[in-house]
Amino acid sequence: MHNAVSRPVGVTVTVPARLHLGFLDLNGGLGRRFGGVGVAISDLKTEIAIRQAQRSEVSGPHSERVGEYLRTMQQALGLVGEHSLHVAVAVPAHAGFGSGTQLALAVAAGLRRLHDLPLDVEADALRLGRGARSGLGIGLFHRGGLVVDGGLGNEARPAPIISHLRFPEHWRVLLVLDPNRRGIHGPDEGKTFAALPPMPAADAAHICRLILMQALPAVVEHDLFRFGAAIKELQMRLGEYFAPVQGGSRFTSGDVAAVLDALDGAGAHGVGQSSWGPTGFAFAPSAEDADRLVRIARGHPMSRGLDIRVCAGLNHGAEILAHARESGR
């Protein structure tokens, strides 16, 4: 994260989108539940600009939600005065990218930097109602890359980040977005988890072993074949667990599922769905191979209406840029 100038007149905060590659423990028998694996990605981002102003103003996408975050943080920090906040860019909401957490943490960090206050990402996440299940967005805000969170215990604090690795920069991530569908979110997410039985302990244990003994070493050794095999199996087991609340399917979007199946058959690695979807993903060993796979995906008969793109892993977290003098938005 980059802090440039003390006591700025304005601050811009840019937060990368994240992919949620899967939960680790949906059994909870050891005292912690959920846990997860996620990666920060390029191209998709949330960006806000904030400054002090004569009157309060919030503009851009998700302005109502952002206004609530701003008011909550002003009250928590005891700040007086008015602020102008503009959401310049926001990733699609309820698509599996962690948009709500990015917006919340961007507002909190921008307000703190504007008033020359130290960052307190974990505490602000709790203040703003984020990190109730996953600590990935908080961990990726700090440093990007690929992170693992250790799940929620009984304490009222975000899940701890227990692993942080650089994501191989030559690997590519294929995204398959369905703008016509939304993943489960908000209160419905809590109701959905409550309706599901605990995952069998043996299945949760196997998933943890896949991540610890296969996926993470493969990232360090730049072995996409083994990394992809671990993520694919993780996704298959989780997809079967969640299928009863996803219309009997491992995927929220049937069109995304069809395109991912074609990519899997064409040699893509680690196909899956980010969080509740509908966004699907797959991995390629290089930009050239990603281009080949994108052509296959876009040529699929079910790809009409889908947004298919290539990005990379991002090995830095949020960027916080302070401005010494006013500039136009």
Q: Measuring CA to CA, which residue among 168, 169, 150 is closest to residue 159?
A: 150
pLDDT of residue 62: 95
Q: What is the pLDDT of residue 6?
A: 56
For residue 38, the model assigns a pLDDT of 97
Task: Count other C-beta atoms under 10 Å from residue 237's C-beta.
Answer: 20
What digits encode the pLDDT tens for the residues 119-145? 999 999 999 998 777 899 999 999 999
Question: For 6-59, what is each residue's pLDDT tens digit?
Answer: 578 999 999 999 999 999 999 999 999 999 999 999 999 999 999 999 999 999
Q: Which residues of the chain have pLDDT under 70?
A: 1-6, 325-329
**pLDDT for res 133:** 75
Q: Angle at CA 52, nearest 5°, toward 46 and 53?
A: 110
Q: Is 325 exposed, middle or buried (0-12, 13-18, 19+ CB in 10 A)?
A: exposed
Backbone angles phi, psi at 77, to 5 degrees: -95, -5
What CATH number belongs to 168-312? 3.30.70.890
Question: In the β-sheet with 280-284, what is the strand arrangement from edge to edge?
Answer: 269-273, 280-284, 172-177, 307-311
DSSP notation for 85-97: EEEEE-PPTTSSS
pTM for this model (two decimals): 0.92
Respond yes or no on whether the N-terminal peptide bond of residue 8 is cis (omega within 30° of 0).
no
> The domain 1-166+313-329: what is its CATH number?
3.30.230.10
1-166+313-329 shares its CATH topology with 168-312: no
149 CB-near residues (< 8 Å, 6+ apart): 34, 35, 36, 38, 134, 135, 136, 139, 158, 159, 160, 161, 162
Residue 122 exposed, middle or buried by CB count within 10 Å (0-12, 13-18, 19+): buried
> How do the domains of the chain map onto residue ranges?
1-166+313-329, 168-312
Residue 292, pLDDT score: 98
